[in-house]
Structure 1
Amino acid sequence: MAHVFAFWESRAFYDSFMARSHDRLASAQAGTFKDAQVKLFDYRFDVKTGFEPRFTDADLVRVALARIHEERVENFTLMQEKVWNPAMAGSPGMIRGLFGEAPGHEFLVLSMWRQAAEHGKYRTERVERLALRAQTEADVAALTGDIVELEPTWTV
């Protein structure tokens, strides 16, 4: 499995790429992959500090995708900002991240970590307590995610 993250300067640049170049590039890649899933998220806010789409100082990316109950979107967003972000920001080894939103009450939390061991400490020590405080179980209709070990030769 491969994860590909792309960051666009603006929606206009993304739309221009889709209109002018996407189909040509996609046809050149036909047969090189299967079961591609693509989602476009709008940036909402940073996790920890000013997000930069730079991966050279990270060894690991944690990506979480959540579909939120419609009536709980406001709480979920607030808890991400007031509970989860400060907890991740205070974790040694967490570099930066972002919180994004897609149509259909879907959200992305992407966090970048210096090392897998540092992310592991955060996860085991704090997640259950933070989830109770943030009422995450009441907010989330579906949650998936992955821990992605970065391959430096794939960074463009």
Structure 2
Amino acid sequence: MAHVFSFWESRAFYDSFMARSHDRLAAAQSGTFRHIQSKLFDYRFDVKTGFEPRFADTDLVRVAHCRVHPHRAEHFALMQEKVWNPAMAGSPGMVRGLFGEAPGHEFLVLSMWQSAAEHGKYRAERVERLSLRAQTEADVAALTGDVVELEASWTV
């Protein structure tokens, strides 16, 4: 499995790419994959510090795709900002991240870490405690995610 993240300077640049170049590039990649899923998330806020799509100082990305109950969407976003964000920011190995939103009460939390070992220090009982405090179980209808070890030769 491969995860491909792309970051656009603006919606206008994204729309221009989709209108002018996407179909040609997609046709050239035909047959190189079995299944693809694509989602476009709008940036809402940073996790820890000003987000930059640089990967040279990170070895690992944690991505969480959350489908949230419609009546809990604003609570979920508020808890990300007030509970989860400060906790991740306080973890020494966490470099930066972002919180994004897509239509249909879907959210993406992307956090970049120096290493798997640093990310591992954050997880265990701390996540359970934070989840209870943020009432995550009441907010989230479905959660998928992955821990992605970065391949430096794939970054552009």
Same fold (TM over 0.5): yes
Q: Which runs of 5+ in 1 are unaligned?
A: none
1:2 — aligned with what?
Answer: 2
Task: Please tell me the residue identity of whatever aligns with 1:44.
Answer: R
Structure 2 residue 97 is matched with structure 1 residue 97: yes
Structure 2 residue 86 is matched with structure 1 residue 86: yes
1:25 — aligned with what?
Answer: 25
Alignment of 1:1-150 (within 5 A): 1-150=1-150
Give CA-to-partner distance per residue, 1:107-138, whole Å, 9 cap, x none. Answer: 00000000101101101141000000000000
Give CA-to-partner distance per residue, 1:9-63, whole Å, 9 cap, x none. Answer: 0000000000000000000000001110000000000000000000000000000
- Give RMSD over aligned pairs: 0.5
CA drift at 1:139 = 0.1
Task: Please tell me the residue identity of whatever aligns with 2:116.
Answer: A
TM-score (norm 2): 0.99
Aligned-residue identity in percent: 84
TM-score (norm 1): 0.99
Q: Please state whether the residue corresponding to 1:143 is helix, strand or coil.
A: strand
Task: Please tell me the residue identity of whatever aligns with 2:94.
Answer: M
CA drift at 1:92 = 1.1
Shift >6 Å, 4+ stretches = none
2-structure distance, mates of 1:124, 1:92? 16
Q: Which runs of 5+ in 2 are unaligned?
A: none
2-structure distance, mates of 1:118, 1:131? 20
2-structure distance, mates of 1:145, 1:38? 14
